[in-house]
Every structure is written in structure tokens, then in C-alpha cells.
């Protein structure tokens, strides 16, 4: 038998392979190499202000990528995360600026709108059996259109809501530890990541997220209401997109209704670089976080080295191919 069998005494290496940690290590190693490479190439790269800029740049894409990760682990895909983010930002704008409601109401409204849209996508997929790619593609376009309709194609500014920009730009950590002015956007990213990681690893919802992606029919035959759980995963992902909407609106101090298209692909790229399988059943939030960081570090580092924006995109594309190829080679070796 060439198959590796797990036992409590299995070597550390074997256990790392099994937990999928190997792919995370690979991604993490790439991240470290990038960091070292860029700091050698440019002295300004490792400055605190630049590191914070990288983290701030990661926050929105990171949160979206976490949402995408959840859906992808079920064996689905969510193309609507980008425009859903914008839609939620617009909803926050309507509630706060047009209706003049207090800040907490706007926050709840944005997240609830996200969850509701996610639930709708989930219904298309689970109940109407529309392939996830098509269902969320339709959702992506509908939300893009709705954002423009609701906002009247104009940006909605949050000048009347004091404290709104603090959601992303303020620094709670900086207030406590003056030497560490980490923006709230980054703090929120890590809180979302920890929550999502906990849900995936420790709750029933997380268990079924993996199980659905691994062998849905088998889960169904085990008597689990697979449709309901799948809808729950899409709804959770939608709610997380709502958080991303708040982050980006806060950073821009406005809801930009034309924004959002293209963010879904960036998010999926981060998920893939982080080692989550598009076939479903395998993946991790930590990996996705590292994937999002790799993309932000690349963009930032290449900009510091004065590499043109166009070339940054080329490099990102190549990284995706490399990451997936490395993952495939690893699996082939393991037979």
C-alpha cells in the first residue's frame, strides 16, 4: 500500500501534508521570500508606513476573499462578491446619508443586505439548482445595476455621518499602543478571518461547508438538509461582503456605485493562491489571508520598484498559474 495512513505517531511532515498545511507553508514561504526580496531591492519597502499601507490595501480584498473561500469550499463559486460589496456600501449610504439614520443602523443594514443577497444566490444554487457560476454571474450583474439605480449613478458621501471614516481609517490599536498605528480596517480583516476560521473549524456550519464540497450526495444521503446549509453558507459569505462594503465606503468616505466589478476575480485569485481547491472540500482562511497578502505585497513592491501597473497585473496572473501548478505537483507526488 502506498497510501499514507494517519496515526497519532505519524511524522510531523505527514501530518502537515494531511492537514493541507503544506500548501499554506508554500504560500507562506513565497510571502516571506517576496518580503525579503523587496526589502533588499528597496530600503523604503520595510518602513512601518509602507507595511501599514500594504495591510490597509489587503483589508478589502482580504475580507472579500474570505467570503469567496467559504463558497468555494462548498464546491461552488461566488462571482458576485465585488458588486455585492458595492451594493452594501450604497445601502449604507442610503440609510446614513439619505435617511440620516445613526451609524449602527447603517452598519447593520449593510451587513443584513449582504446576507440577504447571499441568501438569494444560495437559493438560486440550492433550490433552483442553477450552477453557482451562472447564479452568481447573474447576481453580479443585477447588483451592479441595482447599485447604479439606487444611487442615481452618483457617489453617496458620508460627510454627515461623523465617525464613518473611522471604521476603516481610525486606529483603535494605535490609541492603546501609540507606536502601532494599525488601522481599524486591518483589525476588522483579522477579526473576520478569526471568526470565519472558527466557524469553519469548530461549528456545524463549517463541517457541512467542507462536507458539501467533498461529496454532497453522500451528505444528503446521511440525512442532512444540504440545501438549507448551502444557503446558509452563501448568506454568511454575503454578510461578510457587507463588511467589505463598509470598509471600502469608509476608506473612500463615499459609496462609489460604479466600483466593484473585477474585485471578485482579485478575491478568487487570493483564494486560489492560498491553496483552497476550486473543486471544493479543501481550503483554509489562513491560506486565503496569505494569498491576499501576497497580492498586496506584489502590487506594493512592484510599484516601489517603479514597475508599471500593467506589468503588475501580468505578474499576478503568472503567480496564480504557478500557485495552482505547485499544488497539483504536490498532489501528484502524493499519488
Partner 1 sequence: MAAVSPYEMPEAGSGHRQPVVSMRRIEKRFPGVHALKNVQFDLMPGEVHALMGENGAGKSTLMKILSGIYPKDDGEVLIDGRPTDVPSPRAAQDLGISIIHQELSLMNDLTAAQNIFIGREPRLSFGRLDETALNRRAAEIFASMNLKLDPRALVGRLTIAKQQMVEIAKALSFNARVLIMDEPTAALNNAEIEELFIIIRRLRTEGVGIIYISHKMDELKRIADRVTVMRDGQHVGTVAAADTPVDRIIAMMVGRALADSALTVPDLAGAPVALEVKGLARGREIRDVSFSVRKGEILGFAGLMGAGRTEVARAIFGADPREAGEIIVDGVRRDIRTPADAVEAGIGYLSEDRKHFGLAVGMDVRANIAMASIGRFTRRFGTLDETAMRDAARAYIEQLTIRTPSDRQEVRLLSGGNQQKVVIAKWLLRDCDVLIFDEPTRGIDVGAKSEIYKLLNGLAAQGRAVIVISSELPEVLRLSHRIAVMCEGRLTGILPGGAGTSQEDIMRLATQRESVMQPMGGMQ
Could you tell me the smallest distance in angstroms from the CB atom of residue 203 to partner 1? 5
Stretch of 44-52, 102-110, 204-212, 296-304 lying at the interface with partner 1 (CB under 8 A): 204-212
Restricting to residues 10-29, which ones interact with partner 1 according to CB under 8 A?
18
Nearer to partner 1, 90 or 271 (CB): 271
Stretch of 113-121, 154-162, 196-204, 237-245 lying at the interface with partner 1 (CB under 8 A): 196-204
The answer to whether the beta carbons of residues 270 and 324 sit under 8 Å apart is no
- Stretch (H or E) spanning 54: helix 48-73
- 159 is a contact residue toward partner 1 (CB under 8 A): no
Give the burial class of 10: count Cβ atoms within 10 A of its Cβ; 0-12 exposed, 13-18 middle, 19 or more buried. middle
Nearest Cα residue to 150 out of 257, 263, 244: 257
Could you tell me the smallest distance in angstroms from the CB atom of residue 22 to partner 1? 13
- 44 is a contact residue toward partner 1 (CB under 8 A): no
Could you tell me the smallest distance in angstroms from the CB atom of residue 326 to partner 1? 19
- 210 is a contact residue toward partner 1 (CB under 8 A): yes
Nearer to partner 1, 48 or 218 (CB): 218
Four-residue CA torsion sign, 320, 189, 161, 86: positive
Give the burial class of 144: count Cβ atoms within 10 A of its Cβ; 0-12 exposed, 13-18 middle, 19 or more buried. buried
- 329 is a contact residue toward partner 1 (CB under 8 A): no
Which residues of the chain form contacts with partner 1 (CB under 8 A)? Answer: 1, 3-8, 18, 202-207, 210-211, 213-215, 217-219, 221-224, 281-282
Amino acid at each position: 500500500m502506498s497510501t499514507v495512513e494517519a496515526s497519532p505517531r505519524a511524522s510531523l511532515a505527514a501530518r502537515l501534508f494531511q492537514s493541507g498545511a503544506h500548501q499554506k507553508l508554500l504560500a507562506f514561504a513565497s510571502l516571506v521570500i517576496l518580503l525579503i526580496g523587496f526589502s533588499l531591492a528597496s530600503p523604503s519597502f520595510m518602513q512601518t508606513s509602507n507595511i501599514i499601507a500594504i495591510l490597509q490595501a489587503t483589508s478589502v480584498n482580504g475580507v472579500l476573499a474570505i467570503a469567496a473561500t467559504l463558497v468555494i469550499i462548498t464546491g461552488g463559486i461566488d462571482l458576485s462578491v465585488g458588486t455585492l460589496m458595492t451594493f452594501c456600501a450604497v445601502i449604507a449610504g442610503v440609510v446614513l446619508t439619505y435617511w440620516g439614520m445613526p451609524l449602527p443602523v447603517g452598519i447593520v443594514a449593510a451587513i443584513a443586505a449582504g446576507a440577504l443577497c447571499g441568501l438569494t444566490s444560495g437559493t438560486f444554487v440550492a433550490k433552483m439548482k442553477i450552477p453557482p457560476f451562472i447564479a452568481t454571474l447573474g447576481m453580479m450583474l443585477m447588483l451592479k445595476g441595482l447599485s447604479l439605480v439606487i444611487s442615481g449613478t452618483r457617489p453617496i458621501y458620508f460627510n454627515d455621518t461623523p465617525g464613518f471614516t473611522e471604521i476603516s481609517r481610525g486606529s483603535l490599536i494605535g490609541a492603546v499602543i501609540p507606536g502601532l498605528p494599525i488601522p481599524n480596517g486591518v483589525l476588522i480583516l483579522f477579526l473576520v478571518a478569526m471568526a470565519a476560521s472558527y466557524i469553519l473549524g469548530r461549528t456545524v456550519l463549517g463541517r457541512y461547508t467542507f462536507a458539501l464540497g467533498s461529496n454532497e450526495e453522500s451528505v444528503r444521503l446521511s440525512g442532512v438538509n444540504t440545501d438549507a446549509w448551502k444557503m446558509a453558507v452563501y448568506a454568511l459569505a454575503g454578510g461578510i461582503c457587507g463588511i467589505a462594503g463598509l470598509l471600502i465606503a469608509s476608506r473612500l468616505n463615499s459609496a462609489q456605485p460604479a466600483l466593484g466589478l473585477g474585485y471578485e476575480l482579485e478575491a478568487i485569485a487570493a483564494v486560489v493562491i492560498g491553496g483552497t481547491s476550486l473543486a471544493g472540500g479543501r481550503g483554509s482562511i489562513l491560506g486565503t489571508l496569505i494569498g491576499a497578502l501576497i497580492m498586496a505585497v506584489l502590487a506594493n513592491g512592484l510599484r516601489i520598484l517603479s514597475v508599471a501597473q500593467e506589468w503588475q497585473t501580468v505578474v499576478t496572473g503568472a503567480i496564480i498559474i504557478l500557485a495552482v501548478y505547485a499544488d497539483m505537483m504536490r498532489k501528484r507526488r502524493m499519488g
